[in-house]
């Protein structure tokens, strides 16, 4: 198992380490369980180590054309230092991975993608780089070996602002800037996250990541605690966010996944992204299945649980992620059902440990997101 630059830090802080996406990562810490850590994030602020994520830099004259040959998003339409969630897709319209692409004012694209897809994502991009260069185009891919830490929660701004040399009130959701953090220069701060809360991800030189993390835990303003994979998963689930490999994969299209908003208007018109024929046809006619949110009682459903109709007699889909919601005190789940059975308010049953529990399809997200936007 690979170790992030913060591995020893987690162990020293009482982190319970588990294998995840080829890395040894903390699932929780000795001082608080997963529900307590989850709620601390919702009410205060938590620090997550996401250094296992893949950070890449795409530069060269044809960088935008290059990335748009792989993703569904309108990258050309991004303003400087603005980013977007987008998707690598295959020729069948399936999702190879989800990623954030930021167009920086320094003349390159900054990309963060999933650790579990690192090998295939890098191979996918490198093969396309070779194709572009063979055609005489100018594009270069570089892996950034920085640490990456995410500070998430309503007290993020209170905790971080005294430590940096930029005004966070001017950094809106999905925008990015370089800053000094606790006097560590050239850290990239991106206002985003995976919890539904206001937050940032901070890319830090690996040799300084532990120092920055330690100082964030000791700030006098705001209450910052460490949080692990357990809370990260329940937080993203409450926010209705997909986990690659569970809720989306290379057999599921953006339309089926409810991620149509990631497809740029211009890209739809030009129909020149991978899988455009399949995806655009699904936009014209409903797909056969659709991702939905489900709230249930009784024992919580996990990925792989069967979704039945309201009578409990016919299978209409399958759960892809599920857990008890610390915020709602109910069970929440994501899953795919036949489009004809996907209406909000639809009563269903979930098969959990050979029992059938009552459930209902609800509107996503399960709780309102609190991203920091600037009008």
The predicted pLDDT at position 221 comes to: 84
The average pLDDT across 71-94 equals 98
Q: How far is the C-alpha of 111 from the C-alpha of 130, rounded, in Å?
A: 19
How far CA 352 is from CA of 313, 321, 322, in Å, comes to 14, 13, 11
The span from the CA of 43 to the CA of 285, in Å, is: 42
Confidence category of residue 276, pLDDT binned at 50, 70, 90 = very high
- pLDDT at position 126 is 98
Q: Is the pTM of this model over 0.95?
A: yes
Q: 247 and 321 in contact (C-beta within 8 Å)?
A: yes
Buried residues in 153-164 as b, exposed as e (16+ CB within 10 A) = bbbbbbbbeebb
Measured CA to CA, the distance from residue 254 to residue 248 in angstroms comes to: 9
pLDDT, residue 1, reads 87
Where does the pLDDT of residue 139 fall: very low under 50, low under 70, confident under 90, or very high at 90 and above?
Answer: very high
d(CA 96, CA 108): 23
* pLDDT-wise least confident of 100-104, 224-228, 236-240, 353-357: 353-357
- Beta-carbon contacts of 296 under 8 Å, excluding residues fewer than 6 positions away, are 330, 331, 333, 350, 357, 358, 359, 360
Residue 17 has pLDDT above 90, yes or no: yes
Query: Exposed, middle or buried, 273 (CB in 10 Å: 0-12/13-18/19+)?
Result: buried
Position 232 pLDDT exceeds 80:
yes
Reading the block at residue 227, the tokens are: 């949080």
Strands (E), 94-229: 95-103, 109-113, 140-144, 147-152, 176-181, 184-190, 199-204, 224-226
Per-residue pLDDT for 375 more than 80?
A: no
More confident residue, 34 or 286: 34
Q: What is the mean pLDDT of residues 257-286?
A: 97
Please, what is the end-to-end C-alpha distance for the chain in angstroms? 44
d(CA 101, CA 29): 31
Q: Where does the pLDDT of residue 222 fall: very low under 50, low under 70, confident under 90, or very high at 90 and above?
A: confident
- pLDDT at residue 106 above 90? yes
Q: Is the pLDDT of residue 162 over 90?
A: yes
317, 291, 310, 302: which is closest to 358 by C-alpha? 310
Q: What is the pLDDT of residue 368?
A: 97
Question: How far is C-alpha 265 from the geometric centre of its chain's CA atoms?
Answer: 22
Q: Outline where DSSP puts E strands in 182-240.
A: 184-190, 199-204, 224-226
Residue 349's Cβ-count burial label (10 Å; 0-12, 13-18, 19+) is buried
Share of the chain above pLDDT 70, in %: 100
Residue 313 and residue 300 in contact, taking contact as beta carbons nearer than 8 Å = no
Tell me what percent of the residues of the chain surpass a pLDDT of 90: 97
Please give the Cα distance from 272 to 194 (Å, whole number): 29
**Both tokens assigned to 332:** 């929440």
**pLDDT of amino acid 59:** 98
Tokens in use for 307?
């979704």
For the segment 302-319, the average pLDDT, to the nearest whole number, is 97
Domains observed in the chain: 2-51+146-238 (3.30.1360.120), 288-362 (2.40.30.110)
Q: What's the pLDDT at 99?
A: 98
The stretch 244-254 carries a mean pLDDT of 98
The structure tokens listed for 3 are 């170790």
Beta carbons within 8 Å of 119's beta carbon, 6+ residues apart:
none
The overall average pLDDT reported for the chain is: 97
Neighbours of 110 (CB within 10 A): 21
Whether 113 shows a pLDDT value over 90: the answer reads yes
């Amino acid at each position: 198992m690979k170790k992030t630059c913060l591995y020893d830090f987690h162990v020293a802080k009482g982190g319970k380490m588990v294998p995840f996406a080829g890395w040894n990562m903390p699932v929780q810490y000795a001082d608080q369980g997963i529900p307590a850590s989850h709620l601390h994030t919702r009410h205060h602020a938590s620090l997550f180590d996401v250094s296992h994520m893949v950070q890449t830099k795409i530069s060269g004259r044809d960088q935008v054309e290059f990335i748009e040959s792989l993703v569904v998003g309108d990258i050309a339409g991004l303003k400087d230092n603005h980013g977007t969630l987008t998707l690598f897709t295959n020729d069948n319209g399936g999702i190879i991975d989800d990623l954030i692409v930021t167009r920086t004012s320094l003349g390159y694209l900054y990309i963060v993608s999933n650790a579990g897809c690192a090998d295939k994502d890098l191979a996918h991009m490198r093969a396309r780089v070779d194709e572009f260069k063979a055609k005489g185009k100018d594009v270069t891919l570089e892996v950034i070996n920085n640490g990456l830490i995410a500070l998430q929660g309503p007290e993020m701004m209170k905790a971080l602002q005294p430590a940096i040399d930029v005004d966070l009130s001017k950094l809106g959701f999905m925008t990015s800037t370089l800053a000094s953090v606790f006097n560590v220069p050239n850290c990239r701060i991106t206002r985003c996250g995976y919890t539904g809360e206001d937050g940032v991800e901070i890319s830090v030189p690996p040799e300084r990541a532990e120092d920055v993390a330690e100082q964030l835990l000791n700030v006098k303003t705001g209450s910052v605690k460490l949080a692990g994979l357990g809370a990260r998963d329940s937080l993203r689930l409450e926010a209705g966010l997909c986990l690659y490999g569970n809720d989306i994969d290379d057999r599921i299209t953006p339309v089926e996944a409810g991620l149509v908003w990631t497809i740029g208007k211009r890209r739809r018109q030009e129909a020149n992204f991978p899988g455009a024929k399949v995806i655009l046809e699904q936009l014209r006619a409903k797909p056969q299945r659709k991702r939905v949110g489900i709230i249930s009682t009784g024992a919580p459903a996990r990925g792989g649980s069967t979704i039945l109709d309201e009578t409990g007699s016919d299978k209409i889909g399958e759960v892809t992620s599920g857990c008890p919601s610390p915020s709602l005190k109910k069970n929440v789940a994501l899953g795919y059902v036949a489009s004809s059975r996907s209406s909000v308010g639809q009563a269903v049953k979930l098969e959990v440990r050979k029992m059938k529990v009552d459930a209902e399809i609800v509107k996503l997200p399960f709780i309102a997101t609190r991203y920091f936007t600037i009008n």
